[in-house]
Amino acid sequence: MPPELVPIAAGIAGVVALVVIIVGIVSVRSEKDLVEERLGRFEQDYQSFLDIEEPEDSSKEDRKALDAIDKAISKRPFAARTRQQLARADIKLTVAEYYALQMISPVVFFAVGFFLLFRGDLIMSIVTGFVGFFFPRLYLSRATSKRLIRFEQQLPDTLALWVNALRSGFSVMQAMEAISRDAPEPTSTEFKRVVQEVQLGIDVEDALEHLLNRVESEDLDLVITAVNIQREVGGNLAEILETIGHTIRERIKLKGEIRVLTSQGRYTGYLISFLPIAVAIFLSVIQPGFMNPMFENRLCGWPMLGIGLALIGMGMAAIQKIVNIDI
């Protein structure tokens, strides 16, 4: 291989390795419950065959190391917040795995910037690594937001299904079990968790509270409040849920109309915020000598960059505050 292609191959290998690690961890975590259930049934019937000691391989040792780290930080307040965010995004990772990916991400981004994008420009590569540090957080926030939007859009249909099940003679729990079978994702997964928690002995109110913690929605809060009040004082729950469903449907319709009317302002904010950054990166790639003095001069260039980024952030926040209309 020619020497000039070695850095490019190293950068591509780093990106591929990060993708393989993420896909492998997520797939293992998503199938963990099913595997443990099958192994549990296998242990009951064939316990004598499982008493034979097996040699530990490197993957098991790595798994034990991650589990030990996860147990060590599980009681920390920041770990509880991260675990809640992972649950809201439905990402099958432990806290230790998430922080491990957050430590790997800056290294991979730095390698890609140094070997592929900027070809040895140390300053821009450090900036790229700094972006890589925040990439897992941005991805987690984006996944949580998209999942919440899908859940809220499905909520009117979910309430309609709930009402039909109640009028058919189902109990509240039987209706939620029907929702967990027939509703699309992510509604089916969330209601399935509620049903499983109740089957394990958790009170219905606590299970619904856990659902609200995973899906931070004002509309869902209204539904859960109505269900809890009906359990305390009685009443026609089907009629209450039907009224709430109609209200939520009208709110979603109004939100869509407002989003269309404010779309020009939002995209204008995106354009004027990211255009200077995109132009700076473009000039750094095609003409490094034109932009390098800005990054190399610590007395003048760095303060100007800091002030510019601060003003861009303030302008973006102001525009988003103007176009974000609460209903």
Q: What pLDDT digit, counting tens, does each position of 109-142 carry?
A: 988 888 887 777 777 788 888 888 989 999 999 9
Task: Give the pLDDT of residue 53.
Answer: 41
Is pLDDT of 161 > 90? yes
Is pLDDT of 226 > 70? yes
Q: Does residue 130 lie in a domain region? A: no
Instruction: Identify whether residues 160 and 229 lie together within a single domain.
Output: yes
How confident is residue 207, by pLDDT bands cut at 50, 70 and 90? very high
Q: Does residue 138 lie in a domain region? A: no
- Whole-structure pTM value: 0.68
Task: Give the pLDDT of residue 51.
Answer: 39
Provide the number of structural domains found in the chain.
3
Mean pLDDT of 241-249: 91
Instruction: Identify whether residues 32 and 85 lie together within a single domain.
Output: yes
Mean pLDDT value across the chain: 79
Q: Does residue 235 lie in a domain region? A: yes
Is pLDDT of 243 > 70? yes
Q: Does residue 243 lie in a domain region? A: yes
Q: Does residue 139 lie in a domain region? A: no
Instruction: Identify whether residues 268 and 195 lie together within a single domain.
Output: no
Per the model's pLDDT, the better-predicted residue between 51 and 256 turns out to be 256
Domain containing 59: what range? Answer: 3-120
Instruction: Identify whether residues 165 and 86 lie together within a single domain.
Output: no
Instruction: Identify whether residues 57 and 108 lie together within a single domain.
Output: yes
Q: Does residue 183 lie in a domain region? A: yes
Task: Give the pLDDT of residue 54.
Answer: 42
Instruction: Identify whether residues 8 and 102 lie together within a single domain.
Output: yes
How confident is residue 2, by pLDDT bands cut at 50, 70 and 90? low
Is pLDDT of 59 > 50? yes
CATH number at residue 187: 1.20.81
SS (H, E, C) the chain: CCHHHHHHHHHHHHHHHHHHHHHHHHHHHHCHHHHHHHHHHHHHHCCHHHHCCCCCCHHHHHHHHHHHHHHHHCCCHHHHHHHHHHHHHCCCCCHHHHHHHHHHHHHHHHHHHHHHHCCCCHHHHHHHHHHHHHHHHHHHHHHHHHHHHHHHHHHHHHHHHHHHHHHCCCCHHHHHHHHHHHCCCCHHHHHHHHHHHHHCCCCHHHHHHHHHHHCCCHHHHHHHHHHHHHHHHCCCHHHHHHHHHHHHHHHHHHHHHHHHHCHHHHHHHHHHHHHHHHHHHHHHHHCHHHHHHHHHCCCCHHHHHHHHHHHHHHHHHHHHHHHCCCC
Q: Does residue 318 lie in a domain region? A: yes
Task: Give the pLDDT of residue 52.
Answer: 35
In the chain, % of residues over pLDDT 70 = 77
Instruction: Identify whether residues 227 and 309 lie together within a single domain.
Output: no
Task: Give the pLDDT of residue 253.
Answer: 87
Per the model's pLDDT, the better-predicted residue between 270 and 60 turns out to be 270
Mean pLDDT of 92-112: 88
Q: Does residue 131 lie in a domain region? A: no
